Structure 1
Amino acid sequence: MGLARARLPLLAVLALALRAPDLGLIQALTPHRQVNGILGGSVVLSVDLSPEKELKEIEWSFSNGSGVMIQLAEFSGGKFERPDPSDRFKQRLEKYNKTSLRIKALELDDSGVYGARIKIQPAIVEDQAFLLAVYEPVPVPEIKSHSLSSTAAGCNVTLQCQVSGREKVNVSWSSGNPPRDLGDLERYQLTPDGRTLRLSLQPDLLNSTFTCTASNPVDQKNVSLYLQSICQSGGAAPSPCHWKAIIGALFLGLEISAMVPVTLLHRKML
């Protein structure tokens, strides 16, 4: 056996990992830095280089799990070179500084592994990797009230936070202004996905504001609901049965009113 053992280049190992459904496999194969970006935004990939090391050049590569690696750029002698300026990145790559690559106008397909092969004087090679995830902006959520029971003793209400879009987002609830954790409330229930909030509030809490926040690693949006706009302290909101009883009573009253003149006329004729 020789003193040196053959090993796969960094990007080859990462490409194998990317073929798996779970990108988390990469963590078991090579260290990397997680970088998150928003669709249409930009990110900067910066290699970690000690000040005492003299840099010769950096080669940047990319793999998105398709098994094909692209050589993106080279930093050499203070110059920025693109081996294939017509690749999918086109004019969206630039040299941010001597150790950093900037990617502009991010697209969802830019998600993947970026490798930096760093050549240091006199003959040292270091490999670093970045796992980029590009996310869509979070849509503005909407709060829907699904059921309501309001009495003098308090208000029972179910609120649902609805978020459109394809991506999975995290949903959380808060109360008050400024918003604070729901832990201050005594009686509430959250569904496992965090989107539906069931409340049972005393009259003194009916003027509370509840806020739903939808977020991903790069963006968040929220919407608030003033609870007193749907909970009326001191009286129950009429149910469908109540409305039927009220309407029935009105019709009965009209029928009685119509019958009185007819009865009087009949008596006069007699």
Structure 2
Amino acid sequence: MSTHWFVLLACAAANPGLAQAPTPRRHVNGILGGSVLLSVVPFPGRKVRTVEWSFGAGTGDTIQLAEFTSAGFERPNPKDQFQQRLEMHNATSLRIKALQLDDSGVYEARIKTTVSIVEDQAFLLTVYEPVPEPEIRSHSLSSTAAKCNITLQCLVPGGERVNISWRRGSPMRDLGDQERYQLSPDGRSLQLSLPLNPLASNFTCTASNPADQKSISPDLQSICQSSRTAPRPCHWKAIFVGVFLGLQICAIVLVNLLHRKMP
């Protein structure tokens, strides 16, 4: 044996971590209250004898969840955090129901075949909360008889960990023309300059995380019409000044009338 191989074997014996690479993990996303299916894929031509499932949440402790055998489904501890939420979907698939946030973690499956070969497969499950329903707020800029200039703001209550995206048309596609559609740096506000006749397109805001998404499409026709008929800030100021002056005049007239009636 050469010196090179001797050194490699000595290093592997001193540090077993060098001899065996960590098991690759398949990423799985789940939604709170939903369910996921974890399915192992044995090597072709090998018949599965048993599958042992374990779970680790990253705290250092690993618990044995279940064992699939020809006799069925066995649970070492039915009173663990999963209780009745685990099912044997088939000989190689574990279903987790009524997902909870603390179900996130690493699930490992040890597959034992009839030819006495052991395979390890792992899944990294992340459970997300459902995405709240997004809301649209519109702000009129300077709409004219020919164009509608507005800003649409897509808001998600408590959606700090939610991605926001805007698309247009049906079927939906990217925004495209940056002269008519301007997106804010955070992606939440969309400034539009659209011809009114006919109104060019419809726009959709989508709020999403890796496990869920919700969409909303504002009624541009109604928004643009209301932005043309609603008084602008300068009109409100003029109305306020007019009412204030009218009240002052009425007060002066009333005072003069009272003075004239006094002896």
Instruction: Report the identity percentage.
Output: 64
> Which of 201, 210, 213 is the equivalent residue of 1:217?
210
> Which of 61, 67, 74 is the equivalent residue of 2:67?
74
Distance 1:234 1:47 in 2: 57
Higher mean C-alpha deviation, range 243-252 or range 146-155: 243-252
CA RMSD of aligned residues (A): 3.1
Is 1:7 the equivalent of 2:7? Answer: no
Q: Is the 8 A contact 1:172 1:194 kept in 2?
A: yes
Q: CA deviation at 1:118?
A: 1.0
> Which of 87, 90, 111 is the equivalent residue of 2:83?
90
Q: Is the 8 A contact 1:149 1:236 kept in 2?
A: no
Distance 1:252 1:224 in 2: 44
Aligned to 1:193: 186
Is 1:154 the equivalent of 2:163? Answer: no
Distance 1:215 1:105 in 2: 21
Q: Is the 8 A contact 2:57 2:106 kept in 1?
A: yes
Aligned length: 241
When normalised by structure 1's length, the TM-score is: 0.77
Please list the CA deviations of residues 150-169 of structure 1 after superposition, one character each: whole Å capped at 9, or x if unmatched: 12342221111111235612
Is 1:127 the equivalent of 2:136? Answer: no
When normalised by structure 2's length, the TM-score is: 0.78
Please list the CA deviations of residues 135-161 of structure 1 after superposition, one character each: whole Å capped at 9, or x if unmatched: 111111001124432123422211111
Higher mean C-alpha deviation, range 221-230 or range 132-141: 221-230
Distance of aligned partners of 1:70 and 1:205 in 2 relative to their CA distance in 1, 3 Å threshold: farther
Distance 1:51 1:129 in 2: 18
- Report the 3-state secondary structure (helix = DSSP H, G, I; strand = E; otherwise coil) of the residue aligned with 2:176: helix
Is 1:50 the equivalent of 2:43? Answer: yes
Unpaired segments ≥5 residues, structure 1 = 14-27, 263-270
Unpaired segments ≥5 residues, structure 2 = 1-5, 257-263
- Report the 3-state secondary structure (helix = DSSP H, G, I; strand = E; otherwise coil) of the residue aligned with 2:197: helix
Task: Give the AA of the match of 1:45.
Answer: L
Distance of aligned partners of 1:73 and 1:125 in 2 relative to their CA distance in 1, 3 Å threshold: same
Distance 1:196 1:88 in 2: 42
Task: Give the AA of the match of 1:145.
Answer: S
Q: CA deviation at 1:134?
A: 1.1
- Report the 3-state secondary structure (helix = DSSP H, G, I; strand = E; otherwise coil) of the residue aligned with 2:185: coil
